[in-house]
Amino acid sequence: MEDIKRNILILEAVTKSAINHPRLHLTKNNKIQFSEGNISAVVMDYIDGNSYHDLNRQPSDKELTLILREAMKISELNIKPPFIYDSIAIVNLLDMYERVTPHLSPEDTGLLKPVVEEFKTVDFNSLPKKFIHGD
């Protein structure tokens, strides 16, 4: 239930901003979240489209510019949603590296090792903290 509250906090902030996002459909009580018994849902417009992965191509420079503009808007949101653990978050790179290294080829390990060594020198406490994306 906490994840739902967190996501709604993010959706409310996005809705009030100029970030491109599918239109949300509110309940009769003007709420984002619909709840009935054990079911909880948020309804938004369906976007009939494809990801770049689906299209098997990279975004063009023009598309990248639009994507980066949206990412900048997201990072400017003044929200601090509750923390959730994400195994693939940047701060968990060392843990993930240790877990997957036994399964990597020597070539892949060789490519990653210098990156991991450089990563170990980063002082994360000195970096600014921002909301960077909402799943």
Mean per-residue pLDDT, 52-72: 95
Query: What are the residue ranges spanned by the domains of the chain?
Result: 1-82, 85-135
Q: How would DSSP label each residue in the chain?
A: -HHHHHHHHHHHHHHHTT---PPEE--TTS-SEEEETTEEEEEE-------HHHHTSPPPHHHHHHHHHHHHHHHT----PPP---TTSGGGHHHHHHHHGGGS-HHHHHHHHHHHHHHTT--GGGS--------
Mean per-residue pLDDT, 47-54: 94
pTM of the model: 0.67
Distance CA 123, CA 120 (A): 8
Q: Report pLDDT digits (tens) over 106-131.
A: 999 999 999 999 999 999 899 888 88
Q: Is the pLDDT of residue 134 over 60?
A: no
Distance CA 63, CA 50 (A): 14
Are the beta carbons of 89 and 96 closer than 8 angstroms?
no
What does the pLDDT read at residue 126?
93
| Local confidence band at 4 (pLDDT 50, 70, 90 cut-offs) | confident
